[in-house]
Amino acid sequence: MALQVEVYDERFHSLVGTKFHLTELFQSAIWAEGPVWHQEKQTLIFSDVKGNKMYTWSEQQGIQIFRSPSHFANGNAIDQHGNLITCEHGRRAISQTDSQGNIRILVDKLEHKRLNSPNDVVVKSDGTIWFTDPPYGILSDAEGKKSPSEIIGCYVYCYDPKTNDINIATFHVMRPNGLAFSPDEKQLFVADMSAVEFEKTGLHHLVVFDVEGRKLTNRQEIAEINPGIPDGFCIDQQGIIFCSCENGLIVLTAQGDYLGRFILDKTTSNCTFGQHQKELFITASNSVYRLNIE
């Protein structure tokens, strides 16, 4: 497909690139999500949430089914030991898959109450796992199992696999979804997409918090994302944000300045860097793309 690029700020070319090549790698998902690059295996792993499957892609082997059923897996991350960390709507849990393929649940409760449906996840350099827990896996059977919430709230959590401790990092995001650390890990950016439930009064914003230990403080709104909502996003080493929206990716600075937009004409859910930061994998509706940047 042809890629449209819109430039809003003259810094776009110096901070992002000047040449772009888009390749469609897969187009058979129901709702593609949660892409993560496994550097050691040179493999992309992603979820088809509503298809209840996970897939891998590599240059050598192309697309292969990784897990089916997947417990309605959504977001994924790789920890420092090469383990796959996965948000599972079906088991309302964060799971870990080791290099031998062994799967175990790391956490599924807060004070004996089941989580809603963990959605997106990042691993900090100290090994702590930070994730969001909106209700989308328990609202219907489309991407989980319709169930009442035991938490009665949607929060950002910090989980320490070394101690098995979990805490609410902040109460101040109504519908937290995607999240990513700043390059120095002093801030955590979060998508607040409460406009999904409340079209007139809800938010479709990127917000940022200061990271203080295992807590998030000093909430600030960075940018309102239009059209649509912010879902998943990633941040490069310069602090440039590539954020999903209704028709592609918006590129903006950490201060919220819009630099430009990659238009895919598909509702885009997430993105992640490949083996370097000039290779971007994008999940959009039923498709997965690779965007090469020069």
Q: Take residue 49 and report the two structure tokens written for it.
A: 């949430």
Q: How far apart are CA 219 and CA 208, in angstroms?
A: 6
Task: Cite the annotated binding site for substrate by residue number.
Answer: 119
Catalytic residue among 48, 133, 192, 231: 231
Residue 22 near residue 290, CB atoms below 8 Å: yes
Element (H, E) at 12: helix 12-15
Please tell me the distance from the alpha carbon of residue 284 to that of residue 294, in angstroms, as a whole number.
22
Q: Are 164 and 179 in contact (CB under 8 A)?
A: no
Report the distance separating Cα 70 and Cα 90, nearest Å: 8
DSSP 8-state secondary structure symbol assigned to residue 1 = -
Q: Give Cα separations from 139 to 41, 75, 146, 262 (angstroms).
A: 35, 18, 5, 31
Annotation marks residue 231 as catalytic: yes
- Residue list, annotated binding site for a divalent metal cation: 33, 177, 231
Is 83 within 8 Å of 99 (Cβ atoms)?
Answer: yes
State the pairing for strand pair 279-284/287-293.
antiparallel
SS3 204: coil
Q: Please give the DSSP secondary-structure letter assigned to residue 2.
A: P
Residue 102: how many other CB atoms lie within 10 Å: 9
**φ, ψ (nearest 5 deg) of residue 112:** 70, 5
Question: How many Å apart are CA 133 and CA 111, to the nearest integer?
Answer: 15
Q: Which residues are catalytic?
A: 231
